[in-house]
Every structure is written in C-alpha cells, then in structure tokens.
Amino acid sequence: MTSTDQQPFLSVRDLKVHFSTEDGVVKAVDGLTFDLAKGKTLGIVGESGSGKSVTNLTILGLHDRDRTAIDGEILLDGKELLTASERELERLRGNKMSMIFQDALASLSPYHTIGKQIGETYRKHTGASKKEARERAIEMLKRVGIPQPDMRVDDYPHQFSGGMRQRAMIAMALVCDPELLIADEPTTALDVTVQAQIMDLLKDLQQEFGTAIIFITHDLGVIADIADDVLVMYGGRCVERGTKKEVLRAPQHPYTWGLLGSMPSLDGPVDVPLNPIPGAPPSLLNPPTGCRFHPRCTFTEKIEGGLCSTEQPLLKITDGRGAACHLTADQRREFFADYAATRSH
Ligand code: SF4
C-alpha cells in the first residue's frame, strides 16, 4: 500500500510502551497517537523522560523485546511494524527508515574509516560492490558538505571535528534514501553555527528526497526552525498537538506555557527573565494520578473539585489540534493572554 493524502506515511495509534525494571513497570509511553506525511517534519518536544526517545526506538524496533510490553499500532506506509519480524525490521531500518542520534562519536565505530562505515550500510541494503559503495560514500559525504570527500572518505571518526562527525552520521543515515528519518537531538552537542548548518542540511535533503522527519528535541527554538507540526509530550503522554504556528503562537496547555517561559522569547524583548517550570518530571514507575502535570501546575485551583489530581484530562483532537487539560477554552485563552503579556514587557 502506498501512502496518499488519506493514508499518512507513518501512523501511530494508541501506542503504549511499558517495560519491566527491578523496581516495577515503567510506563514510558502511555497512549500516543499521531500521523506523519511524506515530506513533513513532526517536532516531538518534552523534557528528559517524557517518552519521546522511547517512542522512536519503538518505531525503529530497537527496544528490548524481552522486557518491553507494547500495545497499539505503528503503520509505516501501510505496514504494521509491531508485528514485523526482527529480520523485516532490519531490512526496513536503513532503506525505509533511519535514525540520527545525538552522539555521533558513540554511534560511529572508531576502528573503521568513515567511508567504510557509510559504504557497508549501503552494501548491506543494496548488495552493491565495494567499489560502488565507496563511490556512494564519497557522493554522500559531498552531499552533506564534507570538503574534499574523496580524501576524507578514508579518515577515521577521530580525525573529524564534532560537526563533521554529525554530518558523516547524517550521510550514513541517508545513504539508502530512507523515507522516514528520526533525528534524536541531533544538534544538541554542537555549537550554534554548526547547529544551523545541520538544520539547513536536513531541510535541503528533505526537499530533495521528500523524506518524512521526526525531530526530537527539548528546545522549542529548534522546533520553530524545522517543524511543520508539533507534539508536546509529558510523562509518557501527548499533552498538546498542532501545527508549529498553533503550538508556538497560541499554546493551550500549561506545560507548553512553562516550556515557552523557560526559553528566551522567540520574537519579544531579549531581557525578559526566564521562568523555569518548578519541580521535576514525574516518575514513570509511579506516575501522578489524574493529570500527570498536576504537581507542577499553577492552575490546579482554577479547576473545581480537585479534578486535576483525580481525573486524567482527555486529549481531544480536532483538525490536528488539541490539548489535554481540564481548563476550558475560554480559561486557556485568558490565562495564556496574561502569560504572554508578562513576556512582552
Ligand atoms: Fe494543570 Fe489541571 Fe490542566 Fe493538568 S488538567 S494542565 S493540572 S490545569
């Protein structure tokens, strides 16, 4: 089956990922639903432990199968991934879907040249000869902006700078023209200039190949640069979804307001003090009852009957837009307007 406008390229339905630890069951992802079309970028944002990386490792089938209980549906171009065999997943990883990790040094082998690592990935999935694989590696290094690629192809990872290693990893992830690319904080460890170059590179490659991208980050500034749609995760659940403009300009969830308040204003005065969210992300071994954000939320007294701590707010999505909060639409508008006013003075 081929993806069409009616059928998204990637479709995740009510995904639950729970894994066993010595201390109990961690509910890392607890009912996540989203779609992604070809050529589009979904930004998944949230603090550490919100479930964003686990979601993507599960899509790629890289979770520990013995200790993980998974429920729901993940359809990639119509193919159900949760029931696919390890062999099928291995085939799909590389030529259909691929991932860029945060730490290129840890992801590249120090014992093999950059060219060999890119070329081997290509050979594995296409059956190309060694010569063809080397040519392809040079072509990919050139495409990701490595100068003198025909010379640098024989370098080892330690001979590359941090930014070049990240580019090499992108080259490796894209060598088989994957249709889905998952980028997990790919620029966090890089300086701002290199970060901007990598983001431009991903956008160019997406335009060229029509790749669908999931971009995982804790940084809403990065989301503002690259995403089409945004999914905000908290405590293993989606708390807000919408287009980039909707989520960044008119957010509806107190957690998203908190995330925006803890970063420099995107277009307001530069001297507005940052306002980090109080408290820490919840334990997923023993998550809070009701709304998982309630121990950190400053709006709980606006909801009658202590509902925030007893009843989980439902995520109602209309036309791709929604937030999981007991506040009414009018309350959200009013409180966000108050918040925005404090950010513009
Ligand atoms: Fe805050 Fe209650 Fe809304 Fe959760 S449901 S975000 S605790 S107001």
For the ranges 14-18, 43-47, 69-73, 200-204, which has the lowest average pLDDT? 200-204
Average model confidence (pLDDT) for the chain? 89
Q: Count CB atoms within 10 A of the CB of residue 341.
A: 9
Summarize pLDDT for 44-97 with one digit per residue, the tens.
998 888 888 899 999 999 888 888 999 999 999 999 999 999 999 998 987 799
Residue 80 β-bridge partners: 75
Residue with more model confidence, 310 or 1: 310
C-alpha span between 80 and 55 (Å, rounded): 15
Q: Which CATH number fits domain 10-234: 3.40.50.10860, 3.30.470.10, 3.40.50.300, 3.40.630.10?
A: 3.40.50.300
| Mean per-residue pLDDT, 313-341 | 91
pLDDT of residue 113: 96
User: Quick check: 220 pLDDT over 50?
Assistant: yes
The share of the chain scoring above pLDDT 90, in percent, equals: 60
Predicted pLDDT at 277: 87
Q: Residue 61 and residue 116: Cα distance in Å, rounded?
A: 25
Q: Which residues line ligand 1 (CB under 6 A)?
A: 253-254, 291, 293-294, 297, 299-300, 303, 308, 313, 325-327
Which helix (H) or strand (E) segment is 73 a member of?
A: strand 68-76
Ligand 1 centroid–CA 331 distance in Å is 11
245 to each of 226, 249, 266, 307, how far by Cα in Å?
12, 5, 12, 30
**Residue 72, Cβ neighbours under 10 Å: how many?**
16
Say how many Å lie between the CA of residue 299 and the centre of ligand 1. Answer: 6
Counting atoms of ligand 1 from 1, which one is nearest the CA of 292? Answer: 4
Pocket test for ligand 1, best of 239, 291, 334 (most atoms within 8 A of CB): 291
- Residue 127 and residue 113: Cα distance in Å, rounded? 20
Residue 338 CA to residue 228 CA, distance in Å, equals: 27
- Tell me: the pLDDT tens digits for 107-125? 889 999 999 999 999 998 8
Tell which atom from ligand 1 comes closest to the C-alpha of 302: 8
Can you spell out the DSSP letters for 143-165? HTT-SSHHHHTT--GGGS-HHHH
User: Is pLDDT at 311 greater than 80 in this prediction?
Assistant: yes
Mutate to test the pocket of ligand 1, among 232, 234, 256, 294 (most ligand atoms within 8 A of CB): 294
Task: Determine the pLDDT at residue 344.
Answer: 62
Atom 1 of ligand 1: nearest residue by CA position = 297
Question: By three-state DSSP, how is residue 220 classified?
Answer: helix
pTM of the model: 0.90
- Average pLDDT on 140-146 reads 89
Residue from 303, 314, 316 to probe ligand 1 pocket by mutation (most atoms less than 8 Å from CB): 303
Give me the pLDDT at residue 295, please: 96
Please check the confidence at residue 135 and state whether its pLDDT lies above 90.
yes
Encode pLDDT of 252-303 as tens digits: 999 999 998 887 766 655 566 677 888 999 999 999 999 999 999 999 999 9
Domain range summary for the chain, segments of one domain joined by +:
10-234, 249-343
* Beta bridge mates, 13: 73
Quote the CA–CA distance of 110 and 26 in Å, as a whole number. Answer: 34
Give the model's pLDDT for residue 3.
43
What per-residue confidence (pLDDT) applies to 2? 42
| Distance from the alpha carbon of residue 307 to the mean position of ligand 1, in angstroms | 9
Q: Which residue's C-alpha comes closest to atom 7 of ligand 1?
A: 294
Residue closest via CA to ligand 1's atom 3 equals 325
